[in-house]
Structure 1
């Protein structure tokens, strides 16, 4: 499955907005989808870690997926996050979630268990065999506690049908270059590190699944598009405007940072589900000051 054309550019790991009482805020979610697509984002990734999926019920996940399909329509592809550390429970999820309209499934490496590289390989091999849609690997060792090495990624890319790409968030440019050198032609490689996107595009990556695109979609996608066009003078000038935002977005945790930005923009209520809490007052003031000077 070749995703390098359909998912080239900027994907957004969309947040899940909540009302003040903690329910999913579907009005805000629709506004967010429109805000991002109207400002140049190429595709929507729902139920990623940024969407606070560990705190969502199975019914909420199904409802969010269906709502996202409906509101995105034919304007852009939708990628659905289906990840966890119980391989066979994920097989059940792949069968039970409404994935018929998904372009792909994004699945994070198993967290906490800290499997070996062979365990990671076998985990994804089972998921790929069970998934009705192509699998995009997600390597994020800062959250999972285990790095998926380039050799494992390339083994999956070459040996396992239905493994179609990777979101790479190991904050390691050398590892990215190793994957880019050895990948099959069809294999999508996108960034999961907003602050490294510019040099990663220079190395040949296909785009990004971004947190920053939630709240700064126009500026961020302009930077990505310039990088994909190898106009690095323009891309650097745009990225320079974003550097402080990258720091603020992840100063405390994700998605508290991006929800702080979105609340400041008036797009959502600044509500998270425990154990996540909103930004401190001091950090929120810094977000407000940044957005004020940006405008």
Structure 2
């Protein structure tokens, strides 16, 4: 019988349990996928600790890559034997085998392996919608990317650089600064020792950046607003340091008629056509070598508890995989 990580209550990493599960035949519209690799992402922590509530008991995880073993009635998006990858709902990727709506699956190009596929989908599609849909980065734009040495950060940094942007990244340590610089950051700010807002103003000659991509949340939100040029856009897409406090909208006018958005990948890929289009853009920049996907940590799937501990302790960089 296959196994999966499941949660029966919210809490710390210890609530992640390795359990035998019964995987039924795919229902109409579903495909059964045997995972070769599963992605680890910070949103998994939010599901585990209850910040983003899910009905319990539940599986966990939103990203994986593997082979289609069976399809249900009416499925024509994929076929048995296809190499596929996916990101987004429904939750339950921390599993050896699972059923998933077939319209959420993307066929992996021949040149992209399972581990790269699993490492790139959630973070890569996030970078894709952030840079190409939420705020369409153009050559010459100054952009600020927080957590530039993280999974989304490394991909977004490379992609923004390939688009011709001036890329400013923040990190929390000298080692992460070296990593971000090696992946295309024109300027790297260690926010544990420097005032990133003052440095951004200095780098941009006082003007500020066109857009801030902020997955950190509470600790960086106020400074991010102060880093924007007039009519700049604040894109808050994560809460690694905690939820953003309530915002008085009058601040946006006082700071230069700013824009603020809180997007999610799920909304940007809700339609199959939008998912495929973003996937094609992502596969294109990875296939061309403009964006390198690097797996810096791997854990056995059954060791998800330790993986979550390391992720929350900020011991990880780049992409992390769980291997069934």
Normalising to structure 2: TM-score of the pair? 0.30
Task: Report the structure, 1 or 2, having the larger strand content.
Answer: 2
Task: Report the structure, 1 or 2, having the larger helix content.
Answer: 1
Bigger Rg, which one? 2
**Higher RCO (CA-CA < 8 Å; seq separation 6+):** 1
